[in-house]
Homo-oligomer: A and B are copies of this chain.
Amino acid sequence: MPANSLTDRLFSNPAMARVFSAENTVQRMLDVEAALAHALAVEDVIPEAAVVPIQSACKAARIDMKALSAAARHAGNLAIPLVKQLTAEVASIDAQAARYVHWGATSQDIIDTGMVLQLREAIDLLEVELAELADALAGLAHRHRDTPMIGRTWLQHALPITFGLKAAGWLDAVLRHQQRLAALRADIAVLQFGGAAGTLASLGNRGLPVADALARALALQLPELPWHAHRDRMAECATVVGLLTGTLAKIARDLSLQMQTEVGELAEPSAPGRGGSSTMPHKRNPVACVNALAAAARVPALVSTMLAVMDNEHERALGGWQAEWDTLPEIASLCGASLSSLRDVIEGLEVNAERMHANIGQTRGLVMAEAVSLALAAHIGRAHAHERVEAACRAALAQDTGLREALAADPDIATRLSAAELDKLFEPLAYTGEAGALVDRVLAAHRARKG
């Protein structure tokens, strides 16, 4: 058991782990071999009688995985020893049929198309979980549309916002990623089939017809031409998943900052043992956020690898293609782990609206200075108002009192703004501008997407 099979568990999405398991990797390659037999028979390249024996042998359970893995090192890729094992399996069923295994294909055709099938599964999975996350975020934005909290810039209190606006911002980004994933799914569902040098020469004049039949059998697009050494689709897959991982990290970063002991506005859902500590009973560690942040710390570099290896030499690369094999699954797996962790957190998020409200007051009213200044401007002009309020702010800080008290001490202000008016001005929700309308816009977009 390699060590990362230990630590991978810490950061894994079990469904995604199945997509990129050894079993599924081999099965998808065998699916390509099975479909190829069918396509070759349809185009009369091989006898129809060979199809059933070949297809019935194309089961991962029939493959000796340990032997496969050991032989791969010698051969330089997985397809060569897999075809060998498959041929032997077919031969055990029908010796004649064994002659037609892998006909016309090159190793890379099988490996790349198998990977495409896995990536399609991975995207399907991400789409399902992302839709669940979107729903949970929409619920949050809806419920907290008018829950005031402090907006923070540079990790400093700025002005009031609403927690609904924050959640809507998260949701808005998620909606964009849903669009990106849908577009990606279409872009990468493309057959790889070109033979040794991409000309399909060994199939004579049946090359393109077989390719077309194969693409249809696998529900993939037939590309204009084989793309053995053009990896932009694979790299694009990495980038789109990388972008999603980045947004998940932004959400996790916000959550974890709001979960700080000193802030206390949010908490991960509690469960026995989760994020706890035997010696420190007050601790509720944000384990899901850590999952998302650790994943996001690793994915950008992996994406750069996918971009860096695009300069494949000639008709098949010398290292660049091989560097993709572990990298792309790792990106998808890390994103999947981050996504399922965050979805769980958002679905069960504990929101402390009281603490949000209380935190707004940490600066003792200074964050409302802009609101007061604008109100005062109606009476004494903008420039003068700004000046008076700024002076009150300085006074508040110097005398260690609240802004409201400092304002009261300035007769220029006290005579213009009544206590009732000041009450209103120090009501944070009254100074959240378009926050509600912005939340509504995003919720409408979410509803529209769900159709």
A219 at the interface (CB under 8 A from B): no
> Which residues of chain B are within 8 angstroms of A246 by Cβ–Cβ distance?
231-232, 235, 307-308, 310-311
Interface mask (A263-301 → B, CB under 8 Å = 1, otherwise 0): 100000000011100011111111101101110111111
Q: Is the CB of B281 within 8 A of A390?
A: yes
- 8 Å CB interface, A357-375 against B: 359, 362-363, 366-367, 369-371, 373-374
> Which residues of chain B are within 8 angstroms of A8 by Cβ–Cβ distance?
2, 326
Which listed segment binds B: A123-131, A153-161, A343-351, A410-418?
A153-161
Known: A5-B2, A172-B224, A330-B4. A153 touches B290 (CB 8 A): no
Report the minimal beta-carbon distance from A177 to chain B, rounded to whole angstroms.
Answer: 7
Q: Is the CB of A434 within 8 A of B304?
A: no
A139 at the interface (CB under 8 A from B): no
- 8 Å CB interface, A377-406 against B: 382-383, 390, 393-394, 397
Q: Is the CB of B318 within 8 A of A308?
A: no
A3 to B165, CA, bound (A): 34
Q: Is the CB of A322 within 8 A of B438?
A: no
A315 at the interface (CB under 8 A from B): yes
A239 at the interface (CB under 8 A from B): yes
Report the minimal beta-carbon distance from A445 to chain B, rounded to whole angstroms.
Answer: 6
Known: A25-B3, A369-B279. A197 touches B161 (CB 8 A): yes
Question: How many chain-A residues does the 8 Å CB contact rule pick out?
Answer: 172
* Residue among B25, B153, B230, B315 making CB contact with A247, cutoff 8 Å: B230
> Which residues of chain B are within 8 angstroms of A301 by Cβ–Cβ distance?
300-302, 304-305, 308
A181 to B283, CA, bound (A): 40
A451 at the interface (CB under 8 A from B): no
A85 at the interface (CB under 8 A from B): no
A114 to B353, CA, bound (A): 37
* Residue among B70, B73, B203, B441 making CB contact with A224, cutoff 8 Å: B441
Q: Is the CB of B285 within 8 A of A154?
A: yes
* Residue among B155, B253, B296 making CB contact with A260, cutoff 8 Å: B155
> Which residues of chain B are within 8 angstroms of A285 by Cβ–Cβ distance?
76, 153-154, 156
Which listed segment binds B: A14-22, A34-42, A51-59?
A14-22
Q: Is the CB of A308 within 8 A of B319?
A: no
Residue of B nearest to A157 (CB): B261
Q: Is the CB of A199 within 8 A of B282?
A: no
> Which residues of chain B are within 8 angstroms of A261 by Cβ–Cβ distance?
150, 152, 155-157, 362-363
A142 at the interface (CB under 8 A from B): no
A259 at the interface (CB under 8 A from B): yes
> Which residues of chain B are within 8 angstroms of A177 by Cβ–Cβ distance?
232
Report the minimal beta-carbon distance from A249 to chain B, rounded to whole angstroms.
Answer: 4
* Residue among B23, B151, B208, B257 making CB contact with A437, cutoff 8 Å: B208
* Residue among B2, B4, B369 making CB contact with A281, cutoff 8 Å: B369
A25 to B6, CA, bound (A): 9
A286 to B155, CA, bound (A): 9
Q: Is the CB of A297 within 8 A of B283?
A: no
Q: Is the CB of A158 within 8 A of B197?
A: yes
Residue of B nearest to A322 (CB): B294
A182 at the interface (CB under 8 A from B): no
> Which residues of chain B are within 8 angstroms of A24 by Cβ–Cβ distance?
3
A166 to B159, CA, bound (A): 32
Q: Is the CB of A262 within 8 A of B362?
A: yes
A120 at the interface (CB under 8 A from B): no
- 8 Å CB interface, A190-217 against B: 195-204, 207-208
Q: Is the CB of A257 within 8 A of B314?
A: yes
A221 to B236, CA, bound (A): 25
A219 to B360, CA, bound (A): 37
> Which residues of chain B are within 8 angstroms of A150 by Cβ–Cβ distance?
261
Q: Is the CB of B232 within 8 A of A176?
A: yes
A-B contact pairs, 21 of them (CB 8 A): A2-B5, A4-B4, A4-B326, A9-B72, A10-B76, A75-B273, A99-B383, A151-B199, A154-B318, A155-B286, A156-B259, A169-B229, A172-B225, A202-B374, A202-B433, A207-B434, A225-B438, A239-B239, A246-B308, A294-B320, A296-B310
**Considering the complex of A and B, which 6 residue pairs feature the smallest CB-CB distances, nearest first?**
A293-B319, A246-B310, A151-B197, A201-B433, A153-B316, A282-B366
